[in-house]
């Protein structure tokens, strides 16, 4: 019997300029937003207070942008880094051009923008990926570049 185990991509399997589209998306509910905001000690009324938020610019509570970022990265894990990531090194170019609201679905796509073998860690490489999150209408709601240390093929 053939056995296939889900894993991420080895350093050598990642090519610059390749676009990976992640499925499925994740619908974010008001309860997710409340839980994330309270777990992370973020009492921002724009995330937690429906009456307050109704009087603000967007007329409703906003999904916490840190949750948007976390879910966007999470959408890529099974596809790209499960079992092959050593560590995240940093995040740059983080932007949230449009908000997400309760009931919106976040879809993710990732492009490898750069890679190089590590000079100090044999068998590992540094990879930069650009993650883009879109809502169910195709609007870009998050963009970030993530630098990470990846395992080379054993």
SS3 assignment, position 31: helix
- 5-9, 24-28, 63-67, 147-151: least confident range: 5-9
What's the confidence (pLDDT) of residue 25? 98
Q: Would 121 be classed as within a structural domain?
A: yes
Q: Would 2 be classed as within a structural domain?
A: no
Q: Would 73 be classed as within a structural domain?
A: yes
Share of the chain above pLDDT 90, in %: 96
Confidence of residue 34 (pLDDT cuts 50, 70, 90): very high
Asked whether residue 3 carries a pLDDT value surpassing 90, the answer given is no
pLDDT tens per residue across span 51-63? 999 999 999 999 9
Q: Would 30 be classed as within a structural domain?
A: yes
Share of the chain above pLDDT 70, in %: 100
> Domain with 139 in it: what CATH number?
3.10.129.10
What's the confidence (pLDDT) of residue 5? 83
Q: Which residue carries 């992640």 as its tokens?
A: 22
Asked whether residue 4 carries a pLDDT value surpassing 90, the answer given is no
Q: Which residue carries 């009456």 as its tokens?
A: 51
Domain of residue 130 covers: 11-151
Q: Would 5 be classed as within a structural domain?
A: no
Q: 132 near 109, Cβ under 8 Å?
A: yes
Sheet of strand 85-95, all strands in order from the earlier edge strand to the far edge: 19-27, 105-117, 124-134, 140-151, 85-95
pLDDT tens per residue across span 133-151? 999 999 999 999 999 999 9
What's the confidence (pLDDT) of residue 13? 97
Q: Would 4 be classed as within a structural domain?
A: no
Q: How many structural domains compose the chain? A: 1
The predicted model scores a pTM of 0.94
Q: Would 139 be classed as within a structural domain?
A: yes
In this prediction, residues 30-46 reach a mean pLDDT of 97
Q: Would 119 be classed as within a structural domain?
A: yes
What's the confidence (pLDDT) of residue 31? 97
What's the confidence (pLDDT) of residue 67? 98
């Amino acid at each position: 019997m053939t056995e296939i185990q889900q894993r991420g991509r080895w350093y050598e399997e990642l090519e610059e300029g390749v676009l990976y589209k992640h499925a499925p998306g994740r619908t974010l509910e008001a309860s997710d937003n409340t839980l994330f905001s309270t777990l992370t000690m973020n009492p921002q009324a724009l995330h937690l207070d429906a009456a307050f938020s109704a009087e603000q610019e967007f007329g409703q509570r906003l999904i916490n942008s840190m949750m948007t970022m976390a879910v966007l990265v999470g959408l890529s894990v099974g596809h790209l880094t499960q079992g092959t990531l050593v560590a995240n090194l940093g995040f740059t170019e983080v932007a949230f051009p449009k908000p997400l609201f309760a009931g919106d679905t976040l879809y993710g796509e990732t492009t490898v923008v750069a890679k190089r073998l590590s000079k100090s860690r044999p068998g590992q490489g540094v990879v930069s990926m650009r993650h883009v999150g879109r809502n169910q209408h195709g609007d870009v709601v998050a963009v970030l570049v993530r630098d990470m240390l990846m395992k080379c093929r054993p």
